[in-house]
Amino acid sequence: MKKLLFLLIVLVPGFFFLSCGSKGEDPQPEIEGYIRFKVDGVQKEFKTGQTDLMSFSFDSNGPVYSAIAQVLGPGSTGTSNFIQINLRNESLFETDVSYEMQDAILYQGVPLVRILFTYSDEEGRIFNAVLLDNNSPFLEVKNDATVRFNKITEDWVEGTFSALLTGPVTNLSVGDQERVISEGQFKMKLINLIP
């Protein structure tokens, strides 16, 4: 009887502590990416999924470096509720540099906008900034955009952006409405294809 009592006193608390203890380290939560911004003062936030990422690449024909991101918002059909940013530069991208849309780059000697910026609202109306003001003497070009990288690692990129867009764009017209994109922030996975 003493042996049974001894076993109960020693083993029961031992089993209790073992069952309450950790079964290995808790898994670390996966870092979640996002792109947040305001459209005419209205807050938007898109969580990034497996296919929503930024890619860096190099076009030796330019030569030009590109950073491209397209993120689909909640309920997006692929033609609505998305944002796309295409940044081009003559050298590798750096942190703490403001890249300005109207600061043209030369692609095979032809001046092009540094940033192509597109936003599609929930109804599928497309607004963009794609025109270089120097190339359009008969149009009043208000298009503008700025992108800034705050952090670039091997796998992630973070930064800020803003833009002045016009639209809605159709195959007949560039539209005459403006959309102000402000307080833009992004954090997303990076696929670096630059050799």
- Number of domains observed in the structure of the chain: 1
Query: What is the reported pLDDT for 172?
Result: 80
Q: Is residue 131 part of a domain?
A: yes
Average model confidence (pLDDT) across the chain: 85
Domain of residue 68 covers: 31-192
Query: What is the reported pLDDT for 135?
Result: 64
DSSP, residue by residue, 137-158: TTS----EEEEEEEEE-SSEEE
Model confidence at 97: pLDDT above 80:
yes
- CB-CB contact of 163 with 146 (8 Å): yes
Q: Is residue 124 part of a domain?
A: yes
Q: Is residue 49 part of a domain?
A: yes
Q: How far apart are the first and last CA of the chain?
A: 76
Model confidence at 16: pLDDT above 50:
no
Q: Is residue 136 part of a domain?
A: yes
Q: pLDDT category, 18, cuts 50, 70, 90?
A: very low
- CB-CB contact of 74 with 46 (8 Å): yes
Model confidence at 24: pLDDT above 60:
no
Query: What is the reported pLDDT for 26?
Result: 53
The residue with greater pLDDT, 9 or 160, is 160
Mind listing the pLDDT tens digit for each residue in 134-160? Answer: 766 666 778 999 999 999 999 999 999
Q: Is residue 8 part of a domain?
A: no
